[in-house]
Structure 1
Amino acid sequence: MPYYRSIGSVPPKRHTQHRDAAGDLYYEELMGEEGFSSDSSLLYHRNIPSALADVQPWDLGDTSLTPNSPLRPLHLRLHDLFAPGDAKGVDAVRGRRLVLGNADVRLCYVAADAVSPWYRNAIGDECVYVERGGARLETVFGAFDVREGHYAILPRATTHRWRPLVEGDADYAEPFRAMFVEANSHVGPPRRYLSTHGQLLEHSPYCERDYVVPTAPLLAEDIDEDPRAHTAVHIKHRGTGPSGIGGTIHTAPFHPLDVVGWDGCLYPFLFHISDYEPLTGRVHQPPPTHQVWEGHNFVVCNFVPRKVDYHPLAIPVPYYHSNVDSDEVMFYTDGDYEARKGSGIARGSVSLHPGGHAHGPQPGAMEASLGAERFDETAVMVDTFRPLDLGEGALACDDGRYQWSWTGGEAGTDAPGPGGAR
């Protein structure tokens, strides 16, 4: 986060005494990136943030990854992972299904209606895209009301929990569904959008006014919970097993919402996809035009409703292209994606186009797009610069046929693909 904020009660000078009304010291915690060499915030706790009452292992479930071999483009039906009613009792931390991943990033999906445990990702930032429904996101920096179309950017080690809206809540529309982009790095605006001091520049498709940021501290008593209650925090951290991921539950002898104030340039924020201003041209614009975030060895783009190419001979759908350096994941969340018509892809679908396979419009899509002036589509794309392997979620919802969608048949191989699909 490129700009400074001060929320709640902080002392005039950092690293100096800060006391409550009874004269007791608050405990200052520096939460910083890259050691002490990048963005940071100072949080002022009522309790010693290091205090532990118990430590237990957390079984993360199946975090294994299977190579996409033989190499295939895939269509994954994410809604099949959580059919209607399957969100009952599921929370957005422990209920995630691992879809795709590599050494830099993991893509998970969940449908949930239960309050999650308190959670901290100590591996990297999380970029969460809310596909459907809404939730209250409670963090040690403050709280947010998230809704369909929101990105939530959660810095590494931010303690938080998800409280999905459920039937009976005032703003409830449908169950909460979200994709979690779990990075092994930090996630933020592309560097080309930023000044040397971190301000979003004029050519950026969004600006700081579009961010939703914390406005007040959030304390346990604000949500009618006991500040002195022993509280478990689920931590995802670096591990030594095959997946490189470990899980631990730390129980603190107090409630995690004990931060009376904080200041700095590192904190969670929201950005709504409808505030992204698409760039268009006379001919088809390449995917970097649609970029919204970046992390180490991956980028996030979004495709939103927009006017399209206006050259008199323009072909509005994408040209065929080979991903020489990247795997391309597209999560289709709304509208009609013109280039994929006839492939079976619909809302809730993910396509994986791996490096080494040329891909582009489905047969007939080029001709059908001629003369189009506008595309009504919403999709989130993640491009990775290392190959993506398949998590248990991908193996469970692969349609098994997408690789034939450009030819209309199933000729060419008798060998089953991952998960046994032919």
Structure 2
Amino acid sequence: MAFYRRVGIVPPKRHTQFRDDAGALYYEELMGEEGFSSDSSLLYHRGVPSAIVAAEVWDLPDQATEANHPLKPRHLTPHALFDADTAAGTDAVTGRRLLLGNGDVRLSYVVAGAPSPLYRNAIGDECVYVESGTGTVETVFGVLPYRTGDYVLLPRATTHRWLPDTTDGPSRLYAIEANSHIAPPRRYLSKYGQLLEHAPYCERDLHGPEAVHLAEGRDTEVLVKHRGGPHGVVGTRFRYDTHPFDVVGWDGCLYPYTFNIEDYMPLTGKIHQPPPVHQVFEGDRFVICNFVPRKVDYHPLAVPVPYYHSNVDSDEVMFYAGGDYEARKGSGIGIGSLTLHPGGHAHGPQPAALEASLGAEYFDETAVMVDTFRPLELGEGGRRTDDGTYAWVWAGRQA
């Protein structure tokens, strides 16, 4: 994040003595990006934040991937990975199923009805899209309520846990895990980090913790995902002497926040606008875009659905989260579908969708798109839910 926030109690001067009412020192922790050269926050703990008493192996869910070979566009159906019975006992961390991944980003899906363990991703930032559901994410910075349509942005190494509210059903979560940081696109920001007037959202739309979330406890377990192993990611179970949520206050420009897709203000034009106008976040060698309900092109001869395009530098992944996606009508794609259109393949709308879109003034569709600049491979969840026939829908044939 780029703007300053202060929660709880902090001393008037950083790196100075700060004591509780009994005279005991609080323990100051700097959480910062890029060493000491980028955004950071200072947190003040009651206990020593580095005091671990045990470290054991945490066996992660299957992280293996297989190349998309022979090269094909794919249609995945991640809803099929979970039923009502399994979701009730599944949590948002250990229950994730890997759909697609490469050295820069991993895309997973989970339907969670149970509280997660305390968790920290030490590899990169996480951007979790809430397809449906409500609940809270408790973090070392405080509590974030979430609802349908939220992006939950969790900076690298933020200790947190997911607590779904199952009153209206479990939480359906699409997790985008980076090997880098995730932030608003640089073209939306001033040289000092403020969101500019042409950006499709502003700081008022970003919701961070409002208060600290103090917790007591000893021998507290935290699951940590970190670098290593044959797939570049391994897990460790740390046990801490004191609870990580013993923070009495913090301030700075690095913290978790939520942004709801309904607060994204789409940019439209006289003719069809390319995907970069729909960008919402960026990471290292990938971008995140969202397509939201909007008025469409108003040139009298406009073709509102996308033109055919070749991804010569990127793989495109679309997660269909709501509405009725015009360009994919007739392809078997519905809510909860995920498509992979790989680099080296020209793709676009279903042929019948071109004529059907003419004269349209409004599209009612919600989708989250991830474009990667290295090829994506299929994870266990992706291989299991590939429909096997999507590649041939433009020709109207079976394989």
By the TM > 0.5 criterion, same fold?
A: yes
Are 1:70 and 2:58 matched, yes or no? no
SS at match of 1:85: helix
User: Structure 1, unaligned stretches of length 5 or more?
Assistant: 167-171, 221-226, 412-422
Report the secondary structure of 2:340's partner residue. strand
Q: Aligned-pair RMSD on alpha carbons?
A: 0.7
Number of the residue aligned with 2:219: 230
- Partner residue of 2:214? 219
**TM-score (normalised: structure 2):** 0.99
Instruction: Give 2:355's aligned residue.
Output: 367
**Amino acid aligned to 1:35:** G
Task: Please give the alpha-carbon distance, in whole angstroms, between the structure 2 residues aligned to 1:14 and 1:66.
Answer: 48
Q: TM-score scaled by structure 1? A: 0.94
Match of 1:93 in 2: 93
1:258-407 aligned within 5 A: 258-407=246-395
Letter in 2 for 1:219: L
1:158 equivalenced with 2:153 (yes/no)? no
Q: Which amino acid aligns with 1:318?
A: P
Alpha-carbon offset, residue 228 of structure 1: 2.8
Structure 2 Cα separation of the partners of residues 10 and 89 of structure 1: 39
CA drift of 1:246 comes to 1.2
> Which has the larger displacement, 297-306 or 46-55?
46-55
Task: Give CA deviations for 1:63-122 in whole Å, capped at 9, x if unaligned.
Answer: 101000000000000101113332021000000000000000000100011100000000
Shift of 1:378: 0.2
Deviation at 1:254, TM superposition (A): 1.6
The separation in 1 between residues aligned to 2:330 and 2:249, in whole angstroms, is: 54
Offset at 1:43?
A: 0.3
1:65-214 alignment to 2 at 5 Å?
A: 65-166=65-166, 172-214=167-209
Question: What 5-or-longer segments of structure 2 have no aligned partner?
Answer: none
Deviates more, 1:127-136 or 1:286-295: 127-136
Say which SS state the counterpart of residue 79 (structure 1) adopts.
helix
Contact 2:77 2:338 survives alignment (8 Å): yes
Q: Does the CA contact (< 8 Å) of 2:113 and 2:169 recur in 1? A: no
* Structure 1 runs of 4+ with >2 Å offset: 83-86
Q: Deviation at 1:397?
A: 0.3
Shift of 1:236: 0.2
Shift of 1:16: 0.2
The residue identity in structure 2 corresponding to 1:194 is L
Q: Summarize deviations over 1:333-354 as a string: whole Å, max 9, x none.
A: 1000000000000000000000
Match of 1:416 in 2: none
Q: How many residues align?
A: 399
Give, in whole Å, the separation in 1 of the partners of 2:276 and 2:217. 49
Distance in 2, Cα, partners of 1:122 & 1:256: 15
Deviation of 1:405 after TM superposition, in Å, equals 0.7
Shift of 1:363: 1.9
**Residue number in structure 1 paired with 2:13:** 13
Residue of structure 2 in register with 1:22 after alignment: 22
Counterpart Cα distance in 2 of 1:228 and 1:14: 27
Distance 2:255 2:369 in 1: 24
Confirm or deny: 8 A CA contact 2:61 2:97 kept in the other structure: no
Indicate the percent of aligned positions where both proteins have the same amino acid.
68
User: Aligned equivalents of 2:268 and 2:169: distance in 1?
Assistant: 33
Rounded to whole Å, the distance in 1 between the matches of 2:55 and 2:117 is 15
Q: Distance in 1 between matches of 2:96 and 2:106?
A: 11
- Following TM superposition, by how much is the alpha carbon of 1:301 offset from its aligned partner in structure 2, in angstroms? 0.1
Q: Which amino acid aligns with 2:21?
A: A
